[in-house]
Amino acid sequence: MLNKKMVLMLIVILLLFFVNIFIGYKYFVLQKKIENTKIILKTQQTNKKILEFTKFFIEKVLKAKTEINFETRLKLESLVQDLNNKEILIQWQKFLESKTETEAQNNTNDLLKILIEKINL
């Protein structure tokens, strides 16, 4: 009788041990998936911000028929700051500091190029 109880207890302990190992393995696999999902989400959020700024820039600056108003400038500045990207910000400053139309066009091209390069697919 005692032997049967010991064998049964040993089986239960081994079963619990292996279940515990399986659950631990699944936990670490899910943690890795969560980390990857967070990275993907952050990338998508960054891409969305870049596209939002680029779209607004094209609509309000490149297609503008009149001078850009203060509210639009403020919105553009806010959007570019929200990107939190030093390279984009530096090129944005170069664009703002353009003295001639040719310089502005070149800086615009450079800005758009950087924006496209920063989009991660």
Would you state the structure tokens that stand for residue 59, as one six-digit string? 């609509």
Q: Residue 1's pLDDT is what?
A: 66
Instruction: Provide the 10 A C-beta neighbour count for residue 63.
Output: 8
pTM value is 0.79
Q: Residue 7's pLDDT is what?
A: 92
Mean pLDDT by runs of 10 across the 121 residues of the chain is 87 97 98 98 96 96 92 96 96 96 95 96 78
Q: Report residue 82 CA to chain centroid gap.
A: 12
Q: Residue 48's pLDDT is what?
A: 97
Q: Residue 121's pLDDT is what?
A: 78
* Dmax (CA) of the chain: 98
